Amino acid sequence: MTFQQPAAETLPRHPVIIGGAFEAQGGGEVLAHVYPGTATVTRELRMASPADVDRAVAAARAAFPAWRALAGDKRRDLMFKLAAVIEAQAQEMSPVLTAENGAIILAGGHMSSDAAQKFRYYGGWADKIEGRTVATWGGPAHDYVSYEPFGVVGAIVPWNGPLFAATMVLAPALAAGNCIVLKAPDLAPYSVMRLVELIHQAGFPPGVVNLVTGGAEVGAAMVSHPGVDKIEFIGSGATAKKILANAARTLKPVGLELGGKSAVLVFADADLQAAAKRGLSGAVSANGQGCVNGTRLLVERAIYEPYLQMLAAMAGHIKVGDPFAMDTIMGPVISETSLVRIAGMVERGVAAGGRLVTGGGRLGGDHGEGYFLPITVLADVDPGSEIARQEVFGPVLVVTPFDSEEEAVALANDSDYGLGAYVHTTNLARAHRVAGQMQAGQVQVNGAGEAMTPCVPFGGMKYSGHGRLGGVEGLREFQQVRNVWVNLQS
């Protein structure tokens, strides 16, 4: 069986969009983009250069005064129109999403719907940005607080979910009145390129959203640029450290949504089948490459072996295959480098005492040309081992037993990361008690991703970053606070 190839003519062709001008090439390096389903090149793109970043920042700064002054209802209407444009283009967007990083075609419609919902949700905030008055003392005075946009926001988004991440930043930043310089990831540039095309199709003024596609050099130029007022970064902790050091030169604020090693706590009173299905999603969602995926499973000893058997049985029914096929549930990882790294971590995990329940090494046969790994479950994993503590970013679950609620909480919190946590129990008191002790930015009870909607805040603790995207907290992330005190005696 031959896996389908991306159709080059369906992919966007403008790696640089500055001031409303769609440019067929930037001034930087040539990228040969590789489709991970077959390890074939989709297209060569000349990416942006630091000089292109300069032009993009200048365009955003020029557009900012008018965009900031635009009445809230006008910004609202533009964002609502963009949501409608995205929904109308959902069918065309799906193969773009698959071509860039191997995301399954079945998820494409959901990704477009989610993007539209973000612009619709934050469009609803655009005409409701208010301040407040403050009761003061020490003499007659009128004191008030206003919430102002930063100006130009530099957004750097990752390859594993570029459309999801870009819209999570752009929607609140635009609603708050900021202009944008957006960097598309070099490993997966196409959906962000298409998004910026659709933003212009919806009628946004030139320069409000500008696109530069590129790698680390382009990102560094954006972070250090004195004309960028804030950076919002979604990606790895290692890159975040470099960004923070770079941003310190201009003292610009940086929002960080980073990686995770999210714990899944399964208590003996849980609905076992539902908990296993949701536990398995940590290996399946985004082909196992989701930052908030629950990949560290902690299971009460009384149900430990039955839970493992159920995981293995369910994993056997997950079709890993051609991302363009409608019956495929899981696709490839992003690259050969990633595949080799993940396989090495699994090998070391087994050598350290992990029991291989299902899965293992690279898939061959029809899968052999692409970067495919099976769902892999390692049981009896030492909580202190590499594979239990480091982010794998692949379709791998590690499982460890516990004997008490106190032990489960201690194991869950014994991590450098703090992005997500998942609690499975039918005991309502326990659900609230345990959720309240989780050192994680988002806790889901009897869930596995359902909470990732535009109306709720999302972000991490500890090594998983700081700041929040989503909800009103996401709007505040892109606003500065101004206080005005007026002496009423003069």
* 135 and 177 assigned to the same domain: yes
Distance CA 320, CA 102 (A): 12
* 240 and 100 assigned to the same domain: yes
Q: Is the pLDDT of residue 1 over 80?
A: no
Task: Indicate which CATH number applies to the domain containing 328.
Answer: 3.40.309.10
- Give the tens place of pLDDT for each residue, 132-145: 999 999 889 999 99
**Mean pLDDT of all residues belonging to the chain:** 97
In a domain, 488, yes or no: no
In a domain, 184, yes or no: yes
What is the phi/psi pair of residue 132, to 5°?
-155, 155
Residue carrying structure tokens 């020029």? 62
Q: Is 397 helix (H, G, I), strand (E, B) or coil?
A: strand
Q: How confident is the model at residue 451 (pLDDT cuts 50, 70, 90)?
A: confident
**CA–centroid distance for 46 within its chain:** 25
In a domain, 45, yes or no: yes
* 309 and 409 assigned to the same domain: yes
Q: Is the pLDDT of residue 14 over 80?
A: yes
- Residue range 348-360: average pLDDT? 96
* 271 and 243 assigned to the same domain: no
What is the phi/psi pair of residue 43, to 5°?
-170, 150
Query: Which is it for strands 376-379 and 396-402: parallel, antiparallel or unpaired?
Result: parallel
- Give the tens place of pLDDT for each residue, 44-59: 999 999 999 999 999 9
- Residue range 432-455: average pLDDT? 95
Q: Is the pLDDT of residue 490 over 80?
A: no
- pLDDT > 90 fraction of the chain, expressed in percent and rounded: 97
* 173 and 289 assigned to the same domain: no
* 19 and 41 assigned to the same domain: yes
Q: Give yes or no: 257 in active site.
A: yes
* 253 and 268 assigned to the same domain: no
First to last CA, the chain: 84
Which of 165, 115, 161 is CA-nearest to residue 290?
A: 161
In a domain, 490, yes or no: no
- Residue range 390-398: average pLDDT? 97
Buried b / exposed e across 31-66, counting CB within 10 Å, b at 16+?
Answer: bebbbbbbeeebbebbbbbbebbebbbbbbbebbee
Distance CA 284, CA 282 (A): 6
* 53 and 122 assigned to the same domain: yes
**Residue 138's pLDDT is what?**
83
Name the strand (E) or helix (H) holding 418. strand 417-418
* 274 and 129 assigned to the same domain: no
Predicted model pTM? 0.96
* 140 and 266 assigned to the same domain: no
Residue type, 318: I
- Give the tens place of pLDDT for each residue, 224-244: 999 999 999 999 999 999 999
Name the strand (E) or helix (H) holding 217. helix 216-224
**Residue 449's pLDDT is what?**
84
Q: Which domain holds residue 145?
A: 8-258+468-482
Q: Give yes or no: 179 in active site.
A: no
Q: Give the count of beta carbons closer than 10 Å to the beta carbon of residue 8.
A: 11
* 314 and 230 assigned to the same domain: no
Q: Is the pLDDT of residue 74 over 90?
A: yes
In a domain, 489, yes or no: no
Asked if 208 contacts 179 with a C-beta cutoff of 8 angstroms, the reply is yes
Q: Where are the beta strands (DSSP E) in 112-229?
A: 132-134, 141-149, 152-156, 179-185, 209-214
In a domain, 291, yes or no: yes
Distance CA 163, CA 182 (A): 12
Q: Is the pLDDT of residue 277 over 70?
A: yes
In a domain, 417, yes or no: yes
- Residue range 74-81: average pLDDT? 98
- Residue range 146-159: average pLDDT? 98
- Give the tens place of pLDDT for each residue, 278-321: 999 999 999 999 999 999 999 999 999 999 999 999 999 999 99
Q: Is 359 helix (H, G, I), strand (E, B) or coil?
A: coil
The residue annotated as part of the active site, out of 100, 197, 232, 291, is 291
Residue carrying structure tokens 């477009």? 112
Distance CA 205, CA 195 (A): 15
Asked if 273 contacts 426 with a C-beta cutoff of 8 angstroms, the reply is no
Task: Give the per-residue SS3 of 231-270.
Answer: EEEECCHHHHHHHHHHHCCCCCCEEEECCCCEEEEECCCC
**Residue 236's pLDDT is what?**
95
In a domain, 3, yes or no: no
* 64 and 19 assigned to the same domain: yes
Which of 418, 421, 420 is CA-nearest to residue 463?
A: 418
Task: Indicate which CATH number applies to the domain containing 36.
Answer: 3.40.605.10
Q: Is the pLDDT of residue 2 over 90?
A: no
Number of separate domains in the chain:
2
